[in-house]
């Protein structure tokens, strides 16, 4: 198990960019899938992006993005301290949500990365509000 702590999201204007950080406390393995999810009021939690860095024979670096945001988001990871980042460009009011960092310590990311039940470690979330 690890503890995940998201940075403060905050409020931004539509069109601006925002970079969220997730600090990781604890030991991690190379076979780990890191992901960002978000949940707006009254909606289900949805996957935004995921990243894993595994051995070459297991696919190496893998990144996945939700289709609705793939042209505006970038996920990245700092291997030195295992922190994970999510950058969102051209933010829209509909991006307003609680954003969560998650980790599946058992395997690298696969095509079912958007399923929240696959992740056994979650941060507490950080609120992002986009005003028009």
- Residue 12: phi and psi, rounded to 5, are -135, 165
Chain centroid to CA 46: how far? 10
- Among 45, 49, 48, smallest CA distance to 62 is for 49
Quote the DSSP letter at residue 48: E
The pLDDT score that the predictor gives to residue 14 is: 98
pLDDT single digits (tens) 94-129? 999 999 999 999 888 999 999 999 999 999 999 999
Q: How far is residue 14 from each of residues 88, 105, 112, measured CA to CA in Å?
A: 11, 35, 30
Tell me the β-bridge partners of 131: 13
Q: Is the pLDDT of residue 1 over 90?
A: no
pLDDT single digits (tens) 11-68? 999 999 999 999 999 888 778 899 999 999 999 999 999 999 877 777 778 999 999 9
The pLDDT score that the predictor gives to residue 107 is: 87
């Amino acid at each position: 198990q690890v503890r995940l702590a998201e940075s403060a999201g905050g409020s931004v204007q539509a069109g601006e960019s925002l970079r969220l950080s997730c600090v990781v406390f604890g030991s991690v393995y190379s076979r780990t899938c890191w992901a960002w999810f978000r949940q707006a009021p009254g909606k289900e939690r949805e996957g935004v992006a995921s990243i894993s860095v595994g051995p070459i024979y297991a696919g190496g670096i893998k990144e996945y993005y939700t289709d609705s945001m793939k042209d505006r988001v970038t996920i990245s990871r700092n291997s030195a301290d295992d922190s994970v980042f999510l950058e969102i460009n051209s933010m829209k009011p509909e991006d307003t949500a609680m954003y969560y960092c998650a980790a599946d310590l058992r395997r690298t990311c696969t095509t079912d990365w958007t399923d929240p039940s696959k992740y056994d470690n979650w941060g507490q979330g950080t609120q992002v509000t986009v005003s028009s």
